[in-house]
Structure 1
Amino acid sequence: MKGLAMGPMTTPEYSERWAKRINDNILGTSLENSQSIEEHLQLEADKLRKGKNKVEEELDSLKTNYKKLRLSLRTTGLGKTSE
């Protein structure tokens, strides 16, 4: 890789222009559209909390349905083995 050779033909003005040209090509982050890490983590935590609550509600519903099914089997006598 070749570097910029500083020699007697290089003027300070050229060096300044070269540095400005390089720096102008670097993309900076836009502060208007960026989120802080804390905000991003808070949003992700909220999503996970909502998902956890939904899963817990579904589990409670399954437990309730299971209890109803067991009660139904017990009252009809289908869960007993014949001897």
Structure 2
Amino acid sequence: MQLGLDVDVQKLETDKWRKGKNKAEEDLDSLKMDYKKLRRSIRTVGLGKTSEQWRQEIQEEKIKADQWEKKFQDARAREVALEKSLLECQNKEMGLKA
């Protein structure tokens, strides 16, 4: 009788350990999936770049900004030249009328 009770207790403990093991494995699998999603997100938003990659990207953006600034300055210079030309034409026209 005592031996039968010991066997039942051992079975219950074994089941308890199995359930704990299964739960731990499920948690581990869940953590692995979360980790994969996190790594994918990091790559997607670019946070996984090295400092050299960031420097290169910043340098490229500075070059683009400088190019846009030069285009703006050129356009502004053309605008000033056109305004000056317009004023000269208006002055000539006023001179012809007089």
Q: Which of the five TM-score ranges fits, normalised by the shorter chain?
A: 0.5 to 0.7
Q: Structure 1: which amino acid aligns with 2:46?
A: G
Query: Which structure would you say has the larger Rg?
Result: 2
Task: Judging by fraction of residues, say which structure has more helix.
Answer: 2
Matched, 1:36 2:36: no
List, as ranges, runs of 4+ consecutive aligned residues in structure 1 with deviation greater than 6 Å. none
* Identity, % of aligned positions: 63
Q: Secondary structure at the match of 1:78?
A: coil
- TM-score (ref. length: structure 2): 0.48
CA RMSD for the aligned pairs?
A: 1.7
After superposition, the C-alpha distances for 1:33-62 in whole angstroms (9 at most, x for unaligned) are x96211110000000001111111110110
Per-residue CA distance 1:50-78 (angstroms, 9 max, x = gap): 11111111101100000000000011110
Amino acid at match of 2:47: L
What pairs with 1:36-55 in structure 2 (closer than 5 Å)?
Answer: 36-55=5-24
CA distance in 2, matches of 1:57, 1:43: 21
- Asked if 1:59 is matched to 2:28, the reply is yes
Larger RCO (CA under 8 A, 6+ residues apart): 1
Consecutive unaligned residues in structure 2, runs of 5 or more: 53-98
Structure 2 distance, partners of 1:60, 1:39, is 31
Provide the residue aligned with 2:87 in structure 1: none
Give the residue type in structure 2 aligned to 1:73. I
1:82 aligns with: 51
